[in-house]
Structure 1
Amino acid sequence: MIRKILSVISVCALAVGLSLTAAVAAPPLVQLSGAIFTSDASGVPVNLNHYADKRDVYLNGGPGINAPADAAGLPPGVYAFQVTSPSGKTLLSNDPVGCRRVTIGDNGLFQDVLPSGGCGHVTGIDGEHGGITVQLYPYDDTPNPGGVYKVWLTPYDALDCNAAGNKHCFVPGDSKTDNYKVKATAIVEIDTRFHRNGDLVDGLAATWTDTLGASNVKYSEYAPSRLAFHEAHVEAVEEGTHKITVVDQAGCTIGRVLTPNGNWVKPNKGRVSVSVSVASYSSGADVTYFVDVYCIN
């Protein structure tokens, strides 16, 4: 959720970091629409979010991969991004936050970077949607033994270094996150499948909330080149408790949901949230946690 905050930001500090005075939260709370994902410079998603080099990873955003044509993108405005360890404890981005700003246009896509002092990140062009992609580098190596990184995107005016649970001024409830791996061999993911009349259905949304409380939306898709077989993929997930939320939507009125541990859950007012406990894993692991949604129409 995005909290509207009032703050005084030192202009000089934008080139070297972030300086916020005491912030005052103001209602109403507004859901951050759209999705973020990583890709190569041309906007092409990479298989399983596994990359060979840190410099190959670009941030992209909009309605989401395989989203319906009428799906909302990110709200327009100025955003900040960061790269951290999966727990959020270690900040890996090693340039000031003023160098890590991007604008979202009225079309819900990345429009341009807002460098401060000439330190803006390298950009590419999304060949499919026409927005830009933003290189996440420079950042340090992750301390995670599985090679997992977490990227965050937050409205710039929602950064709050005093908020409870903030990670380097990024508040999970105000943020979109996505995970990826560099030079890693383990495959650990959460996949949501939508069943209707005996078929698997594509283009349906599942919202992932990570272990910190940040969220992102994924859509079911059939893309064998990325090992997506009619599933909404959450890839490179970290150890801990995640949540998958599905709601009634065009193409699926939820009848019941089968959780990864074999329990059946019925919807409450057209909504089901499933906790997914991801166990610790080692190099070479290949684990998928399935959430199966059965639609009645």
Structure 2
Amino acid sequence: MNTKFAIPCAIVIASAGLLGSPAAAAPPSTISGAIFTSDVSGVPVNLNIYEAKEDVYLNGGPGINAPDGAAGLPDGTYSFQVTDPSGKVLLSTDAVVCRQFTVVGGVIEDVVDVGGCEHATGADGEDGGATVQLFPYNNTPNNGGVYKVWVSPTNLLDCSAPGNKQCFVPRYSKVDNYKVRSDIIVEIDVRFWKNGVAMDGYAAEWTDTNGASNIKFSEWNPSVLAFHEAHFEATEEGRHSIKVSDQPGCDITAVELPDGSYGKLRGNTSTVSFDVAPAGPGADVTYFVDVSCR
């Protein structure tokens, strides 16, 4: 493990707000890049369903099947937390100072050395970076076994910001949902179509019920049940949004919502919003968003 950022635990344990001290420069409007969860090896797990809480690792970057040039997180130091899907219940049990890592070249370089409470890591065989174990954290109160991991630049944590979740500000956070010991499937799948053919490697941005976001890419990967789709798994009850924009090889002509209606195009971008209903016992529900390209 690298030891570049030694910070005494007591400094931040005494005041979580210290991690969120305002940066000297004006903060960005949002954070670019993406995150996802995987096992220790960096391999995505089928439908984000894990056998045990200890099996879940954080992975930086846009994912194994993202197109060349897709952006990971910007370089810097980040903090993470695990909550229930609403973000209201903090499940991480250690101090936030223990939950930090660095990103270099768009991939996770290492955890921050804080004197022994930092999290375990693994080696990502796909991008050469590190994976970071999310454990320890408590069981989720969610009946569907859903957890939400948050990642935010450490210097943008702000315990006084409106709508913050344990000092994590949604607009500055990347999130991903996952499940432990639950096979209930509630997901949003975005498909990109051109001349009747589903296309891979196209980005869709999801904004969750808290206003936090993440980016996934359409892919053909049957091992994780991705069939030319950008997968957003374990989505919670409430209002969600999907944003798509023109990309090379796809000039958007229409965006169809799950209910069959169509979203508005504003220039080369469309943002559609819809409600995810409560998951019934044993119910598998997929909300499709279909993007037509020319």
Fold conserved between structures, TM > 0.5: yes
Q: Distance in 1 between matches of 2:19 and 2:67?
A: 41
Q: Is the 8 A contact 1:14 1:116 kept in 2?
A: no
Q: Deviations over 1:145-176 (max 9, x none)?
A: 11000000000000000000000000000000
After TM superposition, list the pairs within 5 Å mapping 1:225-240 onto structure 2.
Answer: 225-240=223-238
Shift of 1:89: 0.6
Shift of 1:28: 5.6
Q: Percent identity, aligned pairs only?
A: 60
SS at match of 2:26: strand
SS at match of 1:27: coil
Give the corresponding residue for 1:168: 166
Query: Mean Cα displacement is larger for which, 24-33 or 73-82?
Result: 24-33
Give the corresponding residue for 1:264: 262
Q: Deviations over 1:73-94 (max 9, x none)?
A: 1100000000000001100000
Give the corresponding residue for 2:93: 94
After TM superposition, list the pairs within 5 Å mapping 1:278-289 onto structure 2.
Answer: 278-289=276-287
Shift of 1:265: 2.7
Q: Distance in 1 between matches of 2:20 and 2:289?
A: 42
Q: Is the 8 A contact 1:65 1:218 kept in 2?
A: no
SS at match of 1:55: helix
**Residue identity matched to 1:142:** T
2:201 aligned to which of 200, 203, 206: 203
Q: Is the 8 A contact 2:254 2:265 kept in 1?
A: yes
After TM superposition, list the pairs within 5 Å mapping 1:53-64 onto structure 2.
Answer: 53-64=52-63
Q: Distance in 2 between matches of 1:208 and 1:202?
A: 17
Q: Distance in 1 between matches of 2:162 and 2:242?
A: 23
**Residue identity matched to 1:137:** F
Give the corresponding residue for 1:37: 36
Q: Is the 8 A contact 2:29 2:171 kept in 1?
A: no
1:220 aligned to which of 218, 221, 227: 218
SS at match of 1:48: helix
Shift of 1:243: 0.3
Shift of 1:99: 0.4
How does the TM-score come out when normalised to structure 1?
0.92
Q: Distance in 1 between matches of 2:264 and 2:163?
A: 32
2:98 is the counterpart of 1:84: no
After TM superposition, list the pairs within 5 Å mapping 1:1-297 onto structure 2.
Answer: 12-14=10-12, 18-20=16-18, 27=26, 29-105=28-104, 107-296=105-294
Q: Is the 8 A contact 1:34 1:64 kept in 2?
A: no
Q: Is the 8 A contact 1:17 1:96 kept in 2?
A: no
Shift of 1:117: 2.5
Shift of 1:19: 3.8
**Residue identity matched to 1:138:** P
Q: Is the 8 A contact 1:191 1:233 kept in 2?
A: yes
Q: Is there any run of 5+ residues in structure 1 with no aligned partner, and where?
A: 1-8
**Residue identity matched to 1:18:** A
SS at match of 2:12: helix
Q: Is there any run of 5+ residues in structure 2 with no aligned partner, and where?
A: 1-6
